[in-house]
Structure 1
Amino acid sequence: MRIIDQAISLIGRATSWLTVLLVLVIVIDVFLRYVFNATSAASFELEWHLFAVIFLLGAAWTLQEDKHVRVDVFYHSFSESKKAWVNLIGTLLLLLPFCAVGFWESLSFVESSYSLGETSPQPGGLPARWIIKSTIPVGFFLLGLQGISLILKAINIIRNGRRQEVTKS
């Protein structure tokens, strides 16, 4: 559990730095567009590629930090034990099957892109589209790993009746 959490945290923190790169790419793109009336398909594609990587690789860290979107009508008033049961059942019935299907289905998507040598359909766009597509199964895998950690934590709370905090490094 601790190893998973540390790995997810490391990947999430590293991924979060891509937001700085994304902002720089957008600022440069806007500057070139409005000052020099110049734009490129590659810069526009790089913007959405960076956003996709941030979203896909950051999702597991977001779950770990409990910063994901939650429809919280009753959950906040539950005891730690009830929250643990909700997390356990929700992760087992919803999150892990979703991650498994997403991971499995995206593998053929990446393989097809790689075998075709897929590139951007736009003139001047980015090459090797399989690279960005490969972040899809990686993102689902990381989210599934974090789901396993969430299950282990929930079981620990149910058994011991308390939350075991993981020390942050």
Structure 2
Amino acid sequence: MPGIIRNYVRIVDRLSDWSGWLAASLIFVMVATLLLDAVTRNVLNIPVHWAIELTQFTLAAYYFLGGPFTLKNDEHVRMDLIYSHLSERGKARLDLVTVWCLIFYLGVMLAGSISSLQYAIATDERRFSMWNPSVIPIKALMVACLVLMLLQAFSLVFKHIATLRGEPIA
């Protein structure tokens, strides 16, 4: 494979690793926020109205940021009835077909999320709650993570083609 493709795969894989590390660290933010909510609500009898919503936003960010890392490390769910019996080249062929379905799906999701982000910006969309937070940051993160997932999907295309050519990219 040409050097530019190998560099692309290396850079996108590093971005996905960084995204996964960031997603994993969000668990601590969620635990701390829920612990704060439990203590203030039950011990101090001073409810913190924003804690649950912040945890929901953090959980959404966790899922968004974990997507590229999951793709990179091939840790997504798949039916293994046929796949486990295939050779490495057979797996690469099947993966090359299915990754294009993923790219189509991610493209549709990206178009919808961009539209949703534009609407949120135009209307200053907020959650209807006591805290009333803006949804723009989480929608912007969704767009960014879908772009990163698309980049990782194209990285997978290059990896599968390299495997079929007999020169795998690690």
- Cα distance in 1 for partners of 2:78, 2:40 equals 39
Q: Unaligned stretches of 5+ in structure 1?
A: none
* Conserved 8 A contact 2:40-2:48: no
What one-letter code is carried by the residue in structure 2 that aligns with 1:112?
Y
Matches within 5 A, 1:61-100: 61-92=69-100, 94-100=101-107
Q: What amino acid is aligned across from residue 156 of structure 1 in structure 2?
A: A
Give deviations 1:69-123, integer Å, cap 9, x for gaps: 222222122111011011110011x100011010011111111111111222101
What is the match of residue 135 of structure 1? 141
Q: 1:101 matched to which residue of 2?
A: 108
Offset from partner CA, 1:101-147 (integer Å, 9 cap, x none): 10011111111111111222101232x21111112221211111110
Contact kept? 2:17, 2:69, Cα under 8 Å: yes
Q: Deviations over 1:37-80 (max 9, x none)?
A: 44333111100100000101210101111122222222122111
Residues 1:49 and 2:57 are matched in the alignment: yes
Partners of 1:103 and 1:138 within 8 A in 2: no
Match of residue 3 from structure 2: none
- Measure, in 1, the Cα distance between the counterparts of 2:65 and 2:22: 10
Q: Is the 8 A contact 2:19 2:68 kept in 1?
A: no
* Matched residues, number: 162
> Is the 8 Å Cα contact of residues 40 and 124 (structure 1) preserved in structure 2?
no
Same amino acid, percent of matched pairs: 27
Q: TM-score when scaled to structure 1? A: 0.89
**Which SS does the other structure have where 1:17 is aligned?**
helix
Determine if contact 1:62/1:68 at 8 Å carries over to the other structure.
yes
2:157 paired with 1:151:
yes
